[in-house]
Amino acid sequence: MATTDRNQPLPQDMPIPGEGLDASRMPGHWLLARLGKRVLRPGGLELTRSMLDALAIGPDDRVVELAAGLGATARLALARTPATYTAVDRDAAAVTRLSALTAPGPTEVRAVRADAADTGLPSGSATVVYGEAMLTMQPEPAKRRVVREARRLLADSSGRYAIHEMCLVPDDIDPALARQIAADLHEAIHVGARPLTPAGWKNLLAAEGFTVTARRTAPMALLEPHRVIADEGLIRALGIAGRALRYPAARQRVLHMRSVFQRHRDHLGAISLVAVPDSFAR
């Protein structure tokens, strides 16, 4: 598993998506993970915590996290000791990491390898479903399938659904500018990025039977030093920077991603929405 190619970031103790891919071609979020970054959400740890607070996860909840990734948010959710927690991810390396999660209380924890739009979990088996930094990367039909799957999973009596995604601002952004931002993001992170405006995200949820009950936004500052330190802590942030300095291809990619985020900072943000099924909206 180890490599001496200085164009590659350092390997990790446990499997991480992107193994075997050159740093110049690797999807941006995998590259950052291989450099040691744990928080890969557009609004950072603060917006994730706000989302979890709004979900009000408690000991009776059955939680499903879609595209759970490296488990950073999973640990925060498990600290709230739900009755069950199920991580869903389609990447085998991610599922291996997620399978090693433990809870501080009696929570039943499991990880499932499946697509977020087709989890294979029973209908009505969850009271809380959430996903972060995943819908942005999907085209419109796929976005709708994932939201529809979340609605299917939710128990009717107390279901809550939350998303944490990249957004475009303002709501009336010029469509040509929106397309240019999406193209620039795709070129930088090597993954199709199709963020919506706040109104667009709300309308997406409404079209699949949800009513938004809480909303919060934050700047898109994923790679800004103050956000990296806030999300990762000073020691880990220094480690990430040190790895990037040692591996030129990785450093070049990170600097390019950051330059794109900065170029469009007036029109890029992060958003968290919490919603309930229409029939239970208050």
Per-residue pLDDT of the chain (282 residues; tens, 9 = 90+): 233 333 344 344 555 555 555 676 788 888 998 899 999 999 999 999 999 999 999 999 999 999 999 899 999 999 999 999 999 999 898 899 899 998 888 999 999 999 999 999 999 999 999 999 999 999 999 999 999 999 999 987 679 999 999 999 999 999 999 999 999 999 999 888 999 999 999 999 999 999 999 999 999 999 999 999 999 999 999 999 999 999 888 899 999 999 999 999 999 999 999 999 987 554
Name the H helices within the chain: 28-34, 44-55, 72-78, 92-99, 140-153, 175-189, 198-207, 225-232, 234-246, 248-263
Please give the single-letter amino acid code of residue 136.
T
pTM of the model: 0.89
Q: What pLDDT does 178 receive?
A: 96
Report the distance separating Cα 231 and Cα 228, nearest Å: 5
Measuring CA to CA, which residue among 56, 116, 61, 63 is closest to residue 85? 63
Cβ(226)–Cβ(233) below 8 Å? no
φ and ψ at residue 276, rounded to 5 degrees: -125, 155
DSSP classification of residue 175: H
Domains of the chain as residue ranges with CATH: 44-167+191-221+267-277 (3.40.50.150)
Q: State how far the Cα of 116 lies from the Cα of 126, in Å rounded to an integer.
A: 14
